[in-house]
Amino acid sequence: MTHRDVPRITAVLGPTNTGKTHLAIERMLGHHSGMIGFPLRLLARENYDRVVARTGRSQVALITGEEKIIPARARYFLCTVESMPTDRSVEFLAIDEIQMAGDRERGHIFTQRLLSARGTAETMFLGSGTMRALVEKLVPGVAFTGRPRLSSLAWAGARKITRLPRRSAVVAFSANDVYTLGELVRRQRGGAAVVLGALSPRTRNAQVDLYQAGEVDFLIATDAIGMGLNMDIDHVAFAGDTKFDGRRPRRLDHQELAQIAGRAGRHMNDGTFGVTAGCAEFDAETITAIEQHRFESLRRAYWRNADLSFNTVRDLKRSLERAPSWPFLAPKRDAEDQAALDALSRDTGLMQRADTPGRVRLLWDVCQVPDFRKTLTEPHTRLLTLLFGHLAGGAERLPQDWVARQVERLDRTNGDIDTLAGRISHVRTWTYITQRQDWIDDPVHWRERARAIEDRLSDALHARLISRFVDRRAAVLSRRLRDGDELMAAVKPDGTVTVEGHRVGRLAGLRFTPDAPDSRTPRPIVAATRRVLPRELVRQGAEDRAAPGTTLRVRAPGAGAGGDPARPAPRACAAGRRDPRGPGQDLRVRSARGGAVERRADRDTGPWPAPARARDRGGRSQSAAIGRAGCGCTAAARLARFVSRPADPRTRPVADLRRNRPGARHLLPVDRDPRPAAAPAGRTAAGRSGRGRSAHAGPRRGPVRDRERVHAGPAEAEGRAVSGVAVAGPPRRMARGCAGPAGAGRGRGEPGRVGRSL
């Protein structure tokens, strides 16, 4: 054999988003035949579809534990690493994600492929640069090729869930955390796609498509997205950095964090990563390692002897426990199939039937039936016992009626997310079993039957995930708000409110109540309604929407807003809850028909008093003049000259104020006009059933705190008339720190409700 005829072995190493898989497919298609082993069934299926699109279905085979599509003239094989038919000769052979050799659960499979799987013309190993030292030891004569990342990855720090940029993925490490985060994002941002390791490939693809299509802008996932999901993600946020590895909780190392963070910024688009949901910020060493793709080399790979003896069950166990010959290989002695063999070997009756090499090999094949529920509990052990019992019997086949009962009982789409996910995992086990043509009669029928059930369950699970974690109305409105599009709203005659064709609630008078599926209205619905509903009400006319008997409040606009304290611009308000997320919303709209609200206010409260320029400087006019200084209140010091001369008839109202507010630093003028105020039906100016005090009922006990603004009237209460205006709502004080005019420099409060006469 000449040097030119020696098969070429290349290791293409680099971080995520370097185009390694694309390179391998191109190299494979340049040969007459080829095979690539992927770490996930999802990846194998995705790349199978890509190759089929280029070469035609008749030339491409797909081989996984649960799915086999092998045309008679197949030249290219896309497989999971475990399912690679290594006895088949192909010109090109590649193994993807070879750093999985350091994985405790599946590492021994990848190590075995590194040691023995070869193409007749070219072999290519794809993975992280951390594998270079081990590959040099395991594969003599290998040539290394580096691949730079196509885009940059930068640290973005910590952000709240509600502040994450759109097109973000939030990564958690337990199903409960994923559910909690998904529900939070649904309320705050309209919804999110959810990706868990327990999802079937069909459900996972449907959730990914939901995100990729832009129906939602967020993805909540476990570390399952770290491999095999190439999506348009701009930012990856870690909600934690600790996971349970099957034995104990442990912190992810730099390489594992980078594998997940590398999902951001695919192709030529730069990406960012950070933390959220209370996760501690990464230290400088971790950030630098991820950004610059510098990690410690893997020091060992897992290994298990592949040269097994099937003479007896004892010989099989001994061959599985053989120690590796190299110190950098760690023995793998707790694999699922080996644990299943230990469990079955404790059954004396079953061991008596494994009395020939053929039966021992059959027993080992049964032990390799996967438990996709990842429990390896008594139910799975019992299933394996029944399988071996039937296959070791006289017919050496699984009974048709028994298979039918086992499969049909899984064909139910009721239940919650976890129930459906468990059912899918169980039916996937049966999909694997139906791939064994030597175990079952009419395998094609049962394979199609199991796949149909899995598809139905997967669709039902996808629907449950959407129902729980996506509010389509909120998602659509959030997207339109983000894009700055004009939103179309309508109020039907029965009060139904729609925005962009989606029903969002009902309007009764001026009170809007959202159609929330729970007690908290999603923020996008609130935001969209606030933007469009006042405009729609203005178009229809606020006065027309105010139901008979509706109480209209009048608020001082404040000098800072350009209003005249002596003539505030009224707005129609519906008294209700002030919580913007609650089911009741106060909707403020200016009248669309000039003066409608003003006329309503004049009818209820009487005409506005003469302003401060009137000749009569006492009584109501003086009160109005005082009120002009601060839209309803003024500093006591400014009135010192009036208070110091109580005999002056012009200052009697002010002197009365001083008596009513002992120690007050800010005073509110009180209208002394005895004209009764307009009040809601059944109420008087003195309050309900004679309770409460009028605007002149006497002093309120206790001093008013410095720099506090107080409502107009000494003791405003629900239904109580103040300065000639019926005021609805409980007594309230202004926010502290409001020393200027109403509406200027206020804190969390709002302008006090003041009377027309100030």
484-501 confidence digits (pLDDT tens): 666 677 788 788 888 777
Mean pLDDT to the nearest integer, 709-727: 32
Q: What average pLDDT is seen over the chain?
A: 75
pLDDT in tens, 134-153: 999 999 999 999 888 888 89
Cβ–Cβ contacts within 10 Å for residue 278, how many? Answer: 10
Dist. CA 240–CA 417, nearest whole Å: 23
Which residues does 721 contact at the CB level (< 8 Å), separation at least 6? 676, 677, 678, 679, 684, 685, 694, 695, 727
DSSP string, 452-500: HHHHHHHHHHHHHHHHHHB-HHHHHHHHHHHHTPPPPEEE-TTSEEEET
Q: Is the dihedral of CA 679, 684, 687, 688 positive or negative?
A: negative
User: Could you tell me which residue, 447 or 616, shows the higher pLDDT?
Assistant: 447
614 vs 10: which has the higher pLDDT:
10
> Residue 683: is its pLDDT beyond 60?
no
Q: Is residue 552 over pLDDT 70?
A: no
CA-closest candidate to residue 166, choices 262, 237, 230: 237
- Nearest-angstrom CA–CA distance, 317 and 354: 13
Dihedral-angle region of residue 676 (phi above 0 means left; psi in -120 to 50 means alpha; beta otherwise): beta
The Cα–Cα gap between 193 and 182 comes to 8
- Section 434-451 average pLDDT: 91
DSSP state letter for 592: S
What HEC string does 702-716 produce? CCCCCCCCECCCCCC
What share of the chain has pLDDT > 90, as a percent?
Answer: 44
Whether 728 shows a pLDDT value over 50: the answer reads: no
> Residues of the chain with pLDDT > 70: what percent?
65
**Is the confidence at residue 749, as pLDDT, over 90?**
no
How do residues 336-346 score in pLDDT, each as one tens digit?
899 999 999 99
pLDDT of residue 636: 53
| Range from 277-286, 373-382, 383-392 carrying the lowest mean pLDDT | 373-382
In the 3-class helix/strand/coil scheme, how is 381-417 assigned residue by residue? HHHHHHHHHHHCCCCCCCCHHHHHHHHHCCCCCCCCH
What pLDDT band is residue 282 in, cutting at 50, 70 and 90? very high
- Rounded Cα–Cα distance for residues 1 and 564 (Å): 100
Residue entry with tokens 């001369």: 645
How much is the pLDDT for 17? 82
pLDDT of amino acid 478:
67
Read off the pLDDT of each residue in 570-581 and give the average, rounded to a whole number.
Answer: 43
Residue 332 clears pLDDT 90, i.e. is over it: yes
- What is the distance between the alpha carbons of residues 548 and 551, in angstroms, rounded to a whole number? 9
Position 371 confidence tier, pLDDT thresholds 50, 70, 90: confident
pTM score > 0.75 for this model? no
Does residue 28 surpass a pLDDT of 90? yes
Query: How far is Cα 503 from Cα 270, in angstroms, rounded to an integer?
Result: 38
* Per-residue pLDDT reduced to its tens digit, 237-256: 999 999 887 778 889 999 89
**Count of all residues that appear for the chain in the document:** 758
Collapsing DSSP states into helix, strand and coil, what is residue 249?
Answer: strand
* Coil vs helix vs strand at 273: strand
